[in-house]
Chains A and B, each alone.
Chain A
Amino acid sequence: DTGVSQNPRHKITKRGQNVTFRCDPISEHNRLYWYRQTLGQGPEFLTYFQNEAQLEKSRLLSDRFSAERPKGSFSTLEIQRTEQGDSAMYLCASSFGPLVDTQYFGPGTRLTVL
């Protein structure tokens, strides 16, 4: 257990529905990252926050995806109008940064879109 928690651990939804995932980072970490991982591939970066500011977004993060970190603590990742191609593991990580930038990952949320 790295101290990063994600909920839910599994989510099954029907195409077209909206889903929201939550990530609680290690409490003193000011940086929070979201990644997506499909079967057989390494994780792909989606976005990252420093405190409450979203500083970088990947081109993978389409208009249907939105992430927030309202008080610089927990974060949510929402996917609107889910598609079957959104099925993946969504991973959250946090780090103290910038001089100590080891990222600590949560267990992930596995999304299955039917």
Chain B
Amino acid sequence: DAKTTQPNSMESNEEEPVHLPCNHSTISGTDYIHWYRQLPSQGPEYVIHGLTSNVNNRMASLAIAEDRKSSTLILHRATLRDAAVYYCILKPNFGNEKLTFGTGTRLTIIP
């Protein structure tokens, strides 16, 4: 499986935007970029995914570099409830059903 690299931790002030980076220089053409987050004492939760174009949903935006070797998860206005570990995961569209988690980025929100 292609590997992703994320910072171990980040801090952000409440009500400000947060940009969580992910490097994936060995991404293949069929790999989708998925983001999940894990709030304290809960199972992971799907956030967003994309292939080439930038994506938006009610939770976040995903900005994908033109060469697809990196991506950024954007939380437009962080709240205390966004404090979690965020995982960037590469997953082929077919043929590999499991999610391969790294250690993710622990996001702390400062009130």
Contact = CB atoms under 8 A, between A and B. Distances in A.
Given A2-B45, A103-B46, A42 B101 contact: yes
Contacts of A70: none
The A interface, classified by DSSP as helix, strand, loop or mixed, is loop
A48 interface: yes
A56 B46 contact: no
Nearest to A98: B94
Interface in A27-41: 31, 33, 35, 40-41
B43 A45 contact: no
Contacts of A56: 97-98
B46 A31 contact: no
B24 to A, nearest CB: 15
The B interface, classified by DSSP as helix, strand, loop or mixed, is loop
Given A42-B102, A48-B98, 7 more contacts: A33-B97, A41-B103, A42-B101, A45-B99, A45-B100, A56-B97, A103-B44
Nearest to A55: B97
Contacts of A43: 44, 99, 101
Interface string B80-111: 00000101000100100111111110000000
B59 to A, nearest CB: 12
A43 B75 CA distance: 23
A103 B42 contact: no
A22 to B, nearest CB: 15
A91 B98 contact: no
